[in-house]
Chain A
Amino acid sequence: MLEKIMATEEAITSSNNGFVQNPVGGSNPPALKKKRNLPGTPGKLTNFIFKNIDSSIYADPEAEVIALSPKTLMATNRFLCEICGKGFQRDQNLQLHRRGHNLPWKLKQRTNKEVKKRVYVCPEKTCVHHHPSRALGDLTGIKKHFCRKHGEKKWKCEKCSKRYAVQSDWKAHSKTCGTREYKCDCGTLFSRRDSFITHRAFCDALAEETARVNAVSSIHDLTAGSINYDLTGNPLGPNMAQHFSSIFKPISSNDNQTRQGGVSLWMNQGLAQVSEAMGNNIQEVHQLRSVTSSGAMFGDLFAVSCSQTPPSDHYQLNWPVFGNKILSDAGASQLASVPSLYSSQEQQSHRTAPASMSATALLQKAAQIGATSTDPSFLGSFALKSNANKVQDASKFYGLYGSSPVSTNPASDVESSGNDQISTLNQLQMYPSKRQKIFQSDQDSPSGGQTRDFLGVGVQAICHPSSINGWI
Chain B
Amino acid sequence: MQSNSSNNNNQPQTSHTSTSRSSDSGEACGGGNKWASKLLSECARAISEKDSSKIHHLLWMLNELASPYGDCDQKLASYFLQALFCKATDSGQRCFKTLATVAEKSHSFDSARKLILKFQEVSPWTTFGHVASNGAILEALDGESKLHIIDISNTLCTQWPTLLEALATRNDETPRLKLTVVVTASIVKSVMKEIGQRMEKFARLMGVPFEFNVISGLNHIGELTKEGLGVREDEAVAINCVGALRRVEVDERNSVIQLLRSLSPRVVTVVEEEADFSSSRYDFVRCFEECLRFYTLYFEMLEESFAPTSNERLMLERECSRNIIRVLACDEENGGGECERREQGIQWSGRLREAFSPVGFSDDVVDDVKALLKRYKAGWALVLAQGDNHESGIYLTWKEEPVVWASAWKP
Contacts and interface: CB of A to CB of B under 8 A. Distances in A.
Contact of B306 (A228, A270, A273, A306): A306
Contacts of A199: 117
A434 B158 CA distance: 22
A245 to B, nearest CB: 17
- Among A161, A280, A316, which residue has the most Cβ atoms of chain B within 10 A? A161
Interface stretch (A218-226, A444-452, A457-465): A218-226
Interface stretch (A41-49, A141-149, A206-214): A206-214
B375 interface: yes
A83 interface: no
Contact of B106 (A198, A276, A323): A276
Contacts of A257: none
Nearest to A226: B172
A433 interface: yes
A222 B214 CA distance: 30
A330 interface: yes
B198 A206 contact: yes
Contacts of A97: none
B1 A434 contact: no
Contacts of B364: 161
B102 A330 contact: yes
Interface string B103-141: 101101011011001101100000100010000000000
B25 interface: no
Nearest to B166: A432
B82 A326 contact: yes
Contact of B111 (A160, A209, A220, A273): A273
A112 interface: no
B408 to A, nearest CB: 18
Contact count band on B: 35 or more
A279 B173 contact: no
Contacts, number: 156
Interface in B19-38: 19-20
A224 B174 contact: yes
B207 A306 contact: no
Contact of A213 (B99, B113, B118, B204): B204
B309 interface: yes
Nearest to A469: B121
Given A270-B110, A326-B63, A158 B309 contact: no
Contacts of A206: 198, 201-202, 205
B19 A327 contact: no
A72 interface: no
Contacts of B66: 325-326
A302 B118 contact: yes
Nearest to A314: B309
Given A198-B161, A198-B162, A279 B311 contact: yes
A5 to B, nearest CB: 28
A60 B67 CA distance: 81
B161 A276 contact: no
Interface string A301-341: 01100110010000110011011011101111000000000
Interface string A393-411: 0000000000000000000
A158 B374 contact: yes
Contacts of B114: 270
A435 to B, nearest CB: 8
A316 B172 CA distance: 57
Interface string A28-58: 0000000000000000000000000000000
21 contacts: A158-B374, A159-B375, A160-B371, A194-B162, A197-B162, A201-B157, A201-B164, A206-B205, A207-B201, A209-B201, A210-B205, A225-B174, A270-B110, A273-B110, A275-B105, A282-B309, A282-B311, A283-B311, A310-B307, A319-B69, A325-B63
Q: What are the 8 closest A-B residue pairs judged by CB atoms, nearest first?
A: A279-B311, A201-B161, A331-B102, A306-B307, A432-B169, A270-B110, A201-B202, A323-B1
Interface of A: 156-161, 192, 194-195, 197-202, 206-207, 209-210, 213-214, 217, 220-221, 224-225, 228, 266, 269-270, 272-273, 275-277, 279-280, 282-283, 302-303, 306-307, 310, 315-316, 319-320, 322-323, 325-327, 329-332, 427, 432-435, 471-472
